[in-house]
Amino acid sequence: FTSTREIMLNFILKPCCSYLNKLPVRTLTIKPKNIFSSGSSKGRKGPPYNHFVQVGDPVLRIKCDPVNPSDINTEPIQSVITAMKYALKRFDGVGISAPQVGVPLQIMMVQFTSSQLNCWTEDMQQSREMEVIPLKILINPKLKIIDSDQVSHSESCCSMHGFSALVPRCRKVSLTGLDQTGKEIKWSSSGWAARIAQHEYDHLSGKMFVDRAMVETLTFDYWNIVNSRLGDFKLGYGGIQAGPRKWFISGWGFKQGK
């Protein structure tokens, strides 16, 4: 953990119209000690966010820094964990990593609730080796492959909202790390749980599911709705809203046909 290291991200919004010509060059400076905005999340404009950042945000391509174990119980690190938990619930996700809330640190979470499990048929639950996963929080995780047999299933990502593709993953892995209190933790997973674990672990190295996907299978999950509505379709990024309709059908295939 290099607390004084600065991660400099300089990039230019290339103009594609007269409006963008007026936009300034955006320079983002991230320092591990002060990347956290002060104040409440309601008025906060910077990370940790309560939403999933989207592909194109440079933080998703950064190799994340480890967390100093002595800092785990401090307010800045706990605020990241709180934001991650909130976003995971808000967007009905099955996993999340710290860069997905805008913070390039090695923190990941995995969860698969009974309600998410019940979105699948029993046959699909068995074929994908699905089971309920209580919330797992791993800080500075290390992944070891236990069974290298490759299994391909559809994946997507809350940071690439609306898209999915077939991704080959190892059938069984083991992770070690620290929990949210700083205690050592070990978790062995197989099947669907191992898939989610590998997906989130990849985020900590700046990788996304499309980097491992069979690119020819990349699909916009709502293409048929776009057609049926003759293009009158909007995709939201605000999470689950009040009322019976959710923001989206989770990209981890909460569609019986996948």
pLDDT digits (tens, 9 = 90+) for 95-148: 999 999 999 999 999 999 999 999 999 999 999 999 999 999 999 999 999 999
Please give the pLDDT value at position 23.
29
Contacts of residue 126, Cβ cutoff 8 Å, sequence gap at least 6: none
pLDDT of 241 above 80: no
Whole-model pTM: value is: 0.79
Catalytic option among 129, 131, 184, 200: 200
Q: Give yes or no for a contact between 130 and 192, defined as CB atoms under 8 angstroms apart.
A: yes
Q: How many helices (H) and strands (E) does the chain have?
A: 6, 8
pLDDT-based confidence at residue 42 (cuts at 50, 70, 90): low
Q: How far is C-alpha 255 from the chain's CA centre?
A: 19
pLDDT-based confidence at residue 250 (cuts at 50, 70, 90): very low
With b for 16 or more beta-carbon neighbours within 10 A and e for fewer, the 181-212 pattern comes to: eeeebebebbbbbbbbbbbbbbbbebbbbbeb
In sequence order, the β-bridge partners of residue 152 are 168
Contacts of residue 47, Cβ cutoff 8 Å, sequence gap at least 6: 35, 36, 37, 59, 83, 101, 102, 103
Region 71-82: what's the mean pLDDT?
96
Please give the pLDDT value at position 239.
82
DSSP 9: E
CA distances (Å), origin 224, targets 58, 161, 181, 249, 250: 31, 16, 46, 14, 16
Q: Are strands 219-220 and 95-97 parallel, antiparallel or unpaired?
A: unpaired
Determine what percent of the chain is predicted with pLDDT higher than 90.
72
Q: Give yes or no for a contact between 167 and 213, defined as CB atoms under 8 angstroms apart.
A: yes
Cis peptide before 58 (omega within 30 of 0): no
pLDDT of 56 above 60: yes
The pair of structure tokens assigned to 42 is 């309601």
To the query of whether residue 200 is one of the catalytic residues in this protein, the response is yes
Q: Give yes or no for a contact between 28 and 47, defined as CB atoms under 8 angstroms apart.
A: no
Distance CA 226, CA 161 (A): 15
